[in-house]
Amino acid sequence: MRDLIASNKRRSIYLIASFTALLALVGLAVGVLLGNGLIGTMIALIFSGVMSFVSYWKADAIALRVSRAVPADPQEYQRLHNLVEGLCIAGGLPKPGIYIMHDVAPNAFATGRNPNHAAIAVTTGLLEKMNRVELEGVLAHELSHIRNYDILVSTLAVTLVGAIALIADMSIRMMWWNGGRVSRDNDRDNGSNPLAIIGFVLIIFAPIAARLMQASISRRRETLADLSACQMTRYPPGLIAALEKLKEDSTVTHAATTATAHLWIEQPLSGVGDAGKFSRLHSLFNTHPPLEERIALLREI
């Protein structure tokens, strides 16, 4: 388990570096298309640095706000607070912030930058549909993300994926309204510049690359969190039963977005499990391993 956690930390560094490099490349492409690659690169480097800094300190607040999460009242949600406190004692963790999302779909996520600055958010649908043992399994899964230091890279990805998509979208719109031309070298058409062509292709495919990196963040981490949760509760059937209920439920989590999809315990958006000719292509963008695989692995414990 310690080796897996250490591997997670190394992968986190690589993924953050990859996101930052991709953001800088997109900025370079924008600079080339707008007529000055050097200025575009400098702006992108500054922007990526600012985004990384803001993401580190504020991405958890952004994720909670985007998901419309509000603090869980200790009196109204006493059972939830008691379960989290008990699991934190068992796992040797400080109690995280606890939030509620008014959404009928059963789901939950953890966010933050480290165990001392973390939060757990659950939907009202999860509280209604899970019994005490199942809810404990879900909460242990989310606390495992905190203990395993998954939350930092997952939370940073929320803003970095959004930044890459935003820059790419704005650049394409600028190219569209400007007719693909810039005011440099007598309004020369960018289409004749090979670098501009490469830049345009990069801008188009950068959001796809960001989504693929986002998907790679959580697949292995979800499996590790499942195993850690069973270690924390010492009762695998509880999490197994919870995952089976999540598998049977087809409700879309309206509090989720594409930027936060990788944070949740279950793939929150529609389209998961699509069959047909493009099913393999769809699976590349799934942020979670199939629930069937997770359940089968837990049954082997």
- Of the CA atoms within 13 Å of residue 41, those in its CB half-sphere come to 8
Task: State both tokens at 138.
Answer: 């879900």
Q: Which of 11, 18, 9 is nearest to 48 (CA)?
A: 18
Where in the sequence numbering do the catalytic residues fall?
A: 142
Q: Which residue has the tokens 């953050």?
A: 16
Q: Which residue has the tokens 């879900």?
A: 138
Q: Which residues contact 109 (CB under 8 A, 6 or more apart)?
A: 63, 67, 120, 121, 142, 260, 263, 264, 265
User: What is the DSSP code string of 99-155?
Assistant: EEE--SS--EEEEEEETTEEEEEEEHHHHHH--HHHHHHHHHHHHHHHHTT-HHHHH
Q: Which of 145, 12, 136 is nearest to 85 (CA)?
A: 136
Q: Which residues contact 92 (CB under 8 A, 6 or more apart)?
A: none
DSSP state of 265: S
